[in-house]
Structure 1
Amino acid sequence: MLDPDRQDQERKDLGLALRKLRKAAGLGGERLAARCGLSQSKISRIERGRTLPSVLDVQRILNALDVPEDVAKSLLDLTRVANVHYKSYRAYAQVGLWQTQRQIKALTESSTVVRQFLPAIPCGLIQTEDYARQVLTPAIPGDISWDVELAVRARMESQSTLLEKSRRFTFLLTEQAVRWPRADRDVMARQCTHMAEISGRPNTDVAVIPNRGRISASPLHFFVIYDERLVTVELFSGSIVLRDPKDISYHLSLFDYFLDHSLTGDDATRFLESMADEFMHGQD
């Protein structure tokens, strides 16, 4: 399911199946477009496998063609699979991690509301330069090599998106993500101070889920929700992009659930400041 070559084939198979159904119904592309409210050019691109349709697009096409329920279910299942895109970190390394940072910056700039769930470490948008350098330096045997300094510069440049006041950010961290000793104590202290300062910006919320009380869900993955149009999920080996509205809705529910159990506003700021003090004056 996560093989890019297979994903391309699934998109083509889906387009071919939809074209066969249209022809079996005796409809031309223009008539189908009029029935389902899509442009004829988009119908053509979908049928040729050049455009990945959303689940909603396929649902509208199938309704317009009055497709039997069992056939419709099969094609909708295929659409959901095709709407999951995976890219490995080896692929990122081949094009340069700095290019990936620029792609993330462009995606952020195209969004109005960005929600980030951070169960492991702070994300690139709220990292200090020293902390980012530690995070981006390969540390485990088998890690992919890349130009660390170029990646750090690209990550710092991407933080300019935080300055646009019309854009809203929520960074939701676990206490573990704040405490994880990813760098030297002085670097960790500055990182916590930096996040406390960011939390005071008018368009940015930094929340922390404390290690107390009962929370019945598990913080399994780092994920980012861009508006309500797509979700990216980070894995050790790469990242997954989800576009199915059901997947997006589920991740929004997850985010809201964890946010309800977090410290926010001044409480979160005070916690981050206390962590900075703990790193600065604590014992190794």
Structure 2
Amino acid sequence: MLEPDSDKRDRKDLADTLRQLRKAAGLSGERLAARISMSQSKISRIESGKALPTVSDVERILQGLDSVPDDVRRDVLALTRTANVDYVSVRSAARLGIWRRQAEIKSLTESSSVVRHLLPVMPSGLLQTPEYARRTLTPTIEGRPARDVDRAVRARLDAQETLNDETKRFHFVLTEQAVRIKLAPEPVMVDQVRHLATVSKRPNVDLAILPLSAEISSPPLNVFVVYDDRLVTTETLSGSLALRDSRDVAYHLNLFDHFREHAASGDDARNILGSVAEEFMRDHG
């Protein structure tokens, strides 16, 4: 997988390749810009590595260059798609400070109008109670990096302030499994489930539960978040990915819509949450 240094190298390689192809075609930046209706300053930023082009940007540039062989065109587009993927391992994030990731989430959310979360395993940090957040951020498995838990919890709770902005729309689809998995003692779980029901009543929040009984054509394999129609972040146990290719974004939007169509919302979702809370209370005795 790609680590941050590799990401930078891919972007530099892409910038260098596009600049070399333009020069080989005998075109100035101004001439290419006029051909493809792109500003010369944008082309300059792309070729200097200061701006990361999208796949469609590069397709336009290659079209303007005319004489690029098909095999080179395929290689350059493949490099573009690679450069549009960021991977940060859990270890790298821990070295920088897990709290920074929470600050990044807040920043991404603040810059978006519509945010969609698919949550197959556990509630998003935007939906967590303080004690549940503490439990999930505390390392318990050998090999999981140490972290400043107090600071990470504070940053996670701070990110929740974005829910107060009613100009934004938040869509959460949680699997029933994500609600039922016991990641903390029963009293903490009861508070967490009840908190989900409370958040679901916010006017700018659509919180839906995908029941275990739902028949779906594609399994919800991992967490992902779609910010407007420009960026997808997805998480694995070992790290996180950021995807910017428009095709990747469109695919994840389609996935989200599929799961949302089969999920319970409103009072139906709150009934599921109430039932789960009662089960935790009975288990606690």
TM-score after normalising by structure 2: 0.96
Assess if the C-alpha contact under 8 Å between 2:233 and 2:241 holds in 1.
Answer: yes
Equivalent residue for 2:98?
A: 97
Query: In 2 relative to 1, CA 4–47 (structure 1 residues): closer, same or farther, beyond 3 Å?
Result: same
**Please, which moves more after superposition, 161-170 or 94-103?**
94-103
Q: What does 1:12-31 align with in structure 2 at a 5 Å threshold?
A: 12-31=12-31
1:115 to partner: Cα distance? 0.2
Q: Percent identity?
A: 56
Equivalent residue for 1:118?
A: 119
Provide the secondary structure at the position in 2 that maps to 1:282: helix
1:283 to partner: Cα distance? 5.3
Equivalent residue for 2:164?
A: 163
Structure 2 gaps, min length 5 = none
**Please, which moves more after superposition, 221-230 or 267-276?**
267-276
Between the aligned partners of 1:141 and 1:4, the Cα distance in structure 2 is 24
Equivalent residue for 2:283?
A: 282
Between the aligned partners of 1:119 and 1:12, the Cα distance in structure 2 is 36
Letter in 1 for 2:8: D
Between the aligned partners of 1:20 and 1:157, the Cα distance in structure 2 is 46
Show CA shifts across 1:25-54 (max 9, x none): 221111212222322222122212332211
Query: In 2 relative to 1, CA 83–237 (structure 1 residues): closer, same or farther, beyond 3 Å?
Result: same
Q: What does 1:54-203 align with in structure 2 at a 5 Å threshold?
A: 54-66=54-66, 67-203=68-204
- RMSD of aligned C-alpha atoms? 1.4
Letter in 2 for 1:115: R
Between the aligned partners of 1:82 and 1:281, the Cα distance in structure 2 is 51
Provide the secondary structure at the position in 2 that maps to 1:228: coil
Structure 1 gaps, min length 5 = none
Equivalent residue for 1:217?
A: 218
Q: What does 1:31-42 align with in structure 2 at a 5 Å threshold?
A: 31-42=31-42
**Please, which moves more after superposition, 160-169 or 48-57?**
48-57
Equivalent residue for 1:45?
A: 45
Provide the secondary structure at the position in 1 that maps to 2:240: strand
Equivalent residue for 1:266?
A: 267
Provide the secondary structure at the position in 1 that maps to 2:75: helix
* Equivalent residues, number: 284
Letter in 1 for 2:54: S
Q: After TM superposition, where is structure 1 displaced by more than 4 Å over at least 4 residues in a row? A: none
